[in-house]
Structure 1
Amino acid sequence: MTEYDYEELGLVAGLEIHQQLDTATKLFCNCPTELREPEESTRRFTRYLHPTKSELGEIDDAALEESQVEREFEYLAYDTTCLVEEDDEPPRELDEEALAVALEIAQLLDMTPVDQAHVMRKIVVDGSNTTGFQRTTKIADEGEISTTEGPVGIEDLMLEEESAQRVTETETGVRFSLDRLGIPLVEIGTKPDISTPEQARDAAERIGMLLRSTGAVKRGLGTIRQDVNISIAEGARVELKGVQSLDDIDDIVRNEVQRQARLLEIRDELEARDAEVGDVQDVSDVFADTDSGVIRGALDDGGAVTAVPLYGFDGLVGAELQPDRRLGTELSDHAKRHGAGGIFHTDELPAYGVTEEEVTALREAVGAEEDDAVAIVAASEDVARNAIEAAAERAEKAIEGVPEETRDANQDTTSKYLRPLPGAARMYPETDVPPVEPDVTEVEEPELLTEKVERYQSEFGLGEGLAEQVAYGRKMPLFERAVADGVDPTLAAGTLESTVTELRRDDVPVEALDDEHFLDVFGLVEGGDLAREGVPELLTALAEEPEADAAALAEEKGLGSAAEDEVREAVVEVVERNAEQVSEEGMAAFSGLMGECMGALRGKADGDLVSELLREEIQKRA
């Protein structure tokens, strides 16, 4: 990956962090916020969505382009799905729990809450919302966070509803699941104060830590997403959507800077060549006898091959912008938006069954010379024409430089075209939800995770590593609840982090364990009814039988805590069985015999007690 002088290039970046809140109900209805499996759906229904005009009579460019692709949207509903989620009933008032969490987050970001929060509609016609818009409201603005490279301003904090979960593509469109739709979500937008890839990651990590400090955000894949807005001095603002991992943000920024820098180099070369984009033409006759499987298939189905000459583009359509992505890939992304499988271009031909003779004939058919390139699409007639026109439009923009657009972040930290940048025309007031006046008087600023780490060490005596694991882990709220109930902090921390990790590695279905399972097990230990050493075995049993009673299961498995006399009896038996070894080695035999004693007791005795009694018995015989 090329490393640039980001200051010289004039890199400017900002973040939009989207975090789901862990509330009991959704933002505008009383449905639960738990995710479901698609197989659990009880019925389905379909929608066709169309863009609407804003208050000023304008239609948003992004919504307009999305609507040009005719698609049917199918929604999976569940036994918990309500009429609000189906858009068959007006929304309820803004959820109070979600508002309270949002105000906590605003405090952590040093933001000023608004006097009155008004819900707005944001037009979205990609099928991710049954209404054709997303409800969103501004909660606070003008905050700031610290990074190692200086402060980063926070522009605004929005509270909005999560979109529906995309399940799969169908023959006629897209299938969505309604379980996720409406989960409260905060969107945090920074100011464009970020100037290096490292600072972008640092800022995202800082915001992520502040969000988790509330103890009221959802955890796991898909519950937090980062969008990154990036531009360089001669480039353009590009929004990269859906960055799932914090670890990827710096590489996402580097790759986008590289893409824009390469596009500027291509622009300069195209200007020097006096490049231009020609007219779209039907070149099906050129490929009448082709052996290319893709083209042959399209023609045999009654389709067409369309082409556009790219004068002065020779060698540049195949120029790499990002790893494994070229200018031709950008043209192809636009063509795919209209149903085509992609494009072929002369920088990569002959290939894919297209012969040298066909390339020559293609060039002659469209009037392309040696310094020119040609792009083609093979598909049904309508798709072929619309797709090649979209590719031609993207080629026109290459002559101008870097287009403003929204792009989708790929897993390999590259990106692909998604849609035009949205504008102000996508927003208009929500008339079904009354405004609210945020009350910050009862909002307490939560303890930061960094502060928790220090407190866990000083107050509970945890080591730094374990303290950090617990504070940043998903089970932090459970740890605090257990300790507040009188559970030994070391037992709670070690079980929730180390023991659970070991059980998961042993393929124990630990996801079946809920908070009450752990609290029941801790209670048995604290009550003297279960030795600490029996915790892993009892948790394993509970994971396999989640409905079982912990105490009854411990008794059934013989995991009850043994009395001291019973423990001593087991220790004496082990020592006498190994009398010769004890006589010869003395205390050196302790380590081997300790394991044998613990095995004999099968987790029914505390290790410290076994150790104490074993030392006594060895010393008697040494």
Structure 2
Amino acid sequence: MTDYDYEDLGLVAGLEIHQQLDTETKLFCQCPTTIREPAASDRSFTRYLHPTKSELGEIDAAALEESMVDREFEYLAYDTTCLVEEDDEPPHRVDREAMEVALEIAQLMDMTVVDQTHVMRKIVVDGSNTSGFQRTMLVANDGEIDTSEGAVGIEDMMLEEESAQRVEETDAGVRFSLDRLGIPLVEIGTKPDIRSPEQAREAAERIGMLLRSTGQVKRGLGTIRQDVNVSIADGARVEIKGVQSLDDIDDIVRNEVGRQVELLAIAEELAERGGAVGDPVDVSDVFADTDSGVIGGALSAGGTAMAVRLAGFDGLVGREIQPDRRLGTELADHAKRHGAGGIFHTDELPAYGVTEAEVEDLRAAVGAEPQDAVALVADDPETADLAIEAVVERAEDALAGVPEETRDANEDGTTRYLRPLPGAARMYPETDVPPVDPDPSEVETPELLTEKVERYQSEFGLDAGLADQVAYGRRMPLFERAVEMGVDPTLAAGTVESTVTELRRDDVPVENLTDDHFVGLFALLADGDLAKEGVPDLLTALAENPGLSADEAAEQEDLGSAGEDAVREAVSEVVERNADQVEQEGMGAFSALMGECMGALRGKADGDVVSDVLREEIQKRA
């Protein structure tokens, strides 16, 4: 990977962090915020969406392009789905719990809370909202966080409803699940203060830590998403959507910087060559007898082959601008937005069944010279026309350099074209929800996770590693509750972290364990009805039989805590069975007999107690 001088390139970056809140109900209705399996859906309905004009009579460019793709949207509904989620009833008042969590987050980032929040509608016609818009409101602005490379300003924080979950692409369009739609979500936008990929990642990590410090944000894949805005001095602002992992942010920024550097170099080369983009030409006759399966299949189905001359583009369409992605890939991404499977271009031909002779005839058909490239789309007539026009528009952008746009993050740290950058024309007031007067004095500033780590070490005696695991782990509230119940802190911490991890590695279905399971287990420990050695067995039983309570599982597995008499009886039996070994080895037999004693007691007794009794019994016979 190329090592760039980001200061010299004039890198400017900002973040938008989207975090789901862990509230009881959704933002504008009383439906639960639980994610369901699509198979649990008991009905569905379909919608077609189209863009509307703003109050000023404008239509947002991103919404307009999205509406040009003719798609049906199917929504999976559940027994908990209400009329608000279906957009058949006006939204209710803003959820009070969600607003309180948002105010806590604002305090952690030293933000100024607005005097009054007004709900706005943000046009979204990709199907992810049944209404065709997302409801959002400004809660606070003008905050700041610290990084090792300097402070990063927080521009604003919005409280908004989460979109529907995309389940799959269908022949008719897209299928969504309504379980996620309406979950409260905060969107935190930084100022463009970030100057390196490393600072971008550090800022995201800091914001993530502050969010988790509230103890009221959802955890797991898809519950937090990072959008990254990147530009360099001679490039353009590009918004990269849907970065799922913090580990990917620095790579995303590096790759986008590299893409813009390469696009600027291509534009410079095209300027020297006198680059230009021609008009689309129907070249179906060139491929009348082709052996290319893609082109031949399209033509035999009544389709057309459309091509365009890219003057001066020879060798540049195939030029890599991101790892394993080329300018030709960019052209293809735009064509795919209109239903085409992709494009062919002369930097990669002859190939895919296209012969050298067909390439020569193709060049002749569009009047291409040696320094020119040709791009080709074969599909049904309407798709081919729309796709080749999209290729023309993107090729014309290449003459200027870097286009402003919204891109989608790929798993490998690269990005692909998604849509134009949205503008202000997609926002207008929501008239069905009254304003809210937020009062920051009603909420307390939560303890930071970094402060918890320090407190767990000083107050509870946890080592640094375990304290960090517990504080940042999703079961941190359970740990604190266990300590309040009187459970040894190290045992409680090890139970929610180390023991669960070990059981998962042994293929125990720990995902079935609930908070109630842990609370019940800790109650048994606190009351002396369960030895610490029985914790793994009890958790295993609960994971494999999630319908049982901790008391029921302990009884089923016979995991009650053994009294001193029972321990002494079991140890004496073990020593008696191994009398010869004890006589010969004395205390040297301790280790082997200790394991046998613990096995005989099956986790019913504390190891320290068993150890003391065993030493006594061996000394009696030594």
TM-score, with structure 1 as normaliser: 0.99
Pairwise CA distance, 1:403: 0.1
Any conservation in 1 of the 2:485–2:523 contact (CA below 8 Å)? no
Matches within 5 A, 1:4-403: 4-403=4-403
CA distance in 1, matches of 2:349, 2:621: 87
Pairwise CA distance, 1:538: 1.4
CA distance in 2, matches of 1:509, 1:63: 44
Query: Identity over aligned residues, as a percent?
Result: 79
Alignment partner, residue 573 of structure 1? 573
Alignment partner, residue 439 of structure 2? 439
Alignment partner, residue 521 of structure 2? 521
Any conservation in 1 of the 2:121–2:428 contact (CA below 8 Å)? yes
CA distance in 2, matches of 1:581, 1:308: 91
Pairwise CA distance, 1:552: 2.9
The question of 1:617 aligning with 2:597 is answered no
**Relative to structure 2, which stretch is displaced further, 434-443 or 257-266?**
434-443
CA distance in 2, matches of 1:107, 1:440: 8
Any conservation in 1 of the 2:141–2:157 contact (CA below 8 Å)? yes
What is the CA deviation profile of residues 461-497 of structure 1, one whole-angstrom value per residue up to 9, with x for unaligned ones? 1111111111000101121222223332222211110
Any conservation in 1 of the 2:17–2:189 contact (CA below 8 Å)? yes
Any conservation in 1 of the 2:485–2:526 contact (CA below 8 Å)? no
What is the CA deviation profile of residues 382-434 of structure 1, one whole-angstrom value per residue up to 9, with x for unaligned ones? 10111011011100000000000000000000000000000010100000001
Alignment partner, residue 461 of structure 2? 461
CA distance in 1, matches of 2:388, 2:619: 89
CA distance in 1, matches of 2:176, 2:379: 27
CA distance in 2, matches of 1:239, 1:164: 21
Pairwise CA distance, 1:615: 1.9
Pairwise CA distance, 1:555: 2.0
**Relative to structure 2, which stretch is displaced further, 257-266 or 553-562?**
553-562
**Relative to structure 2, which stretch is displaced further, 146-155 or 501-510?**
501-510
CA distance in 1, matches of 2:485, 2:17: 35
CA distance in 1, matches of 2:205, 2:6: 21
Pairwise CA distance, 1:576: 2.8
What is the CA deviation profile of residues 43-88 of structure 1, one whole-angstrom value per residue up to 9, with x for unaligned ones? 1101110101111111000000000111110000000000000000
What is the CA deviation profile of residues 531-566 of structure 1, one whole-angstrom value per residue up to 9, with x for unaligned ones? 111111111111222222322331222211111111
Tell me the secondary structure at the aligned position of residue 64 of structure 1: helix
CA distance in 1, matches of 2:398, 2:549: 67
Amino acid at match of 2:337: R
What is the CA deviation profile of residues 184-242 of structure 1, one whole-angstrom value per residue up to 9, with x for unaligned ones? 00000000000000000000000000000000000000000000000000000000000
Alignment partner, residue 477 of structure 1? 477
Tell me the secondary structure at the aligned position of residue 441 of structure 1: helix
Amino acid at match of 1:33: T
CA distance in 1, matches of 2:529, 2:477: 25
CA distance in 1, matches of 2:594, 2:258: 61
CA distance in 2, matches of 1:524, 1:55: 62
Pairwise CA distance, 1:588: 3.1
What is the CA deviation profile of residues 142-186 of structure 1, one whole-angstrom value per residue up to 9, with x for unaligned ones? 000000100000000000000000000111110000000000000
Amino acid at match of 1:61: A
The question of 1:540 aligning with 2:546 is answered no
Any conservation in 1 of the 2:485–2:522 contact (CA below 8 Å)? no
CA distance in 2, matches of 1:556, 1:187: 48
CA distance in 2, matches of 1:284, 1:205: 54
Tell me the secondary structure at the aligned position of residue 547 of structure 1: coil
Alignment partner, residue 600 of structure 2? 600
CA distance in 1, matches of 2:514, 2:550: 12
**Relative to structure 2, which stretch is displaced further, 503-512 or 317-326?**
503-512
Amino acid at match of 2:385: R
Pairwise CA distance, 1:584: 3.7
Alignment partner, residue 423 of structure 1? 423
CA distance in 1, matches of 2:618, 2:207: 57
CA distance in 2, matches of 1:208, 1:430: 30
Pairwise CA distance, 1:578: 2.7
Q: Which runs of 5+ in 2 are unaligned?
A: none
CA distance in 2, matches of 1:563, 1:99: 51
**Relative to structure 2, which stretch is displaced further, 534-543 or 135-144?**
534-543
What is the CA deviation profile of residues 444-465 of structure 1, one whole-angstrom value per residue up to 9, with x for unaligned ones? 1000000001111111111111
Pairwise CA distance, 1:3: 1.3
CA distance in 1, matches of 2:559, 2:574: 20
Tell me the secondary structure at the aligned position of residue 328 of structure 2: helix
CA distance in 2, matches of 1:330, 1:421: 16
Amino acid at match of 2:213: S
**Relative to structure 2, which stretch is displaced further, 405-414 or 561-570?**
561-570
Amino acid at match of 2:410: N
CA distance in 2, matches of 1:549, 1:416: 49
Tell me the secondary structure at the aligned position of residue 4 of structure 2: coil
**Relative to structure 2, which stretch is displaced further, 579-588 or 301-310?**
579-588
Pairwise CA distance, 1:592: 2.1
Amino acid at match of 1:23: T
Tell me the secondary structure at the aligned position of residue 270 of structure 1: helix
Tell me the secondary structure at the aligned position of residue 158 of structure 1: strand
Amino acid at match of 2:172: T
**Relative to structure 2, which stretch is displaced further, 486-495 or 471-480?**
486-495
The total of aligned residue pairs comes to 622
CA distance in 2, matches of 1:105, 1:440: 10
Pairwise CA distance, 1:25: 0.3
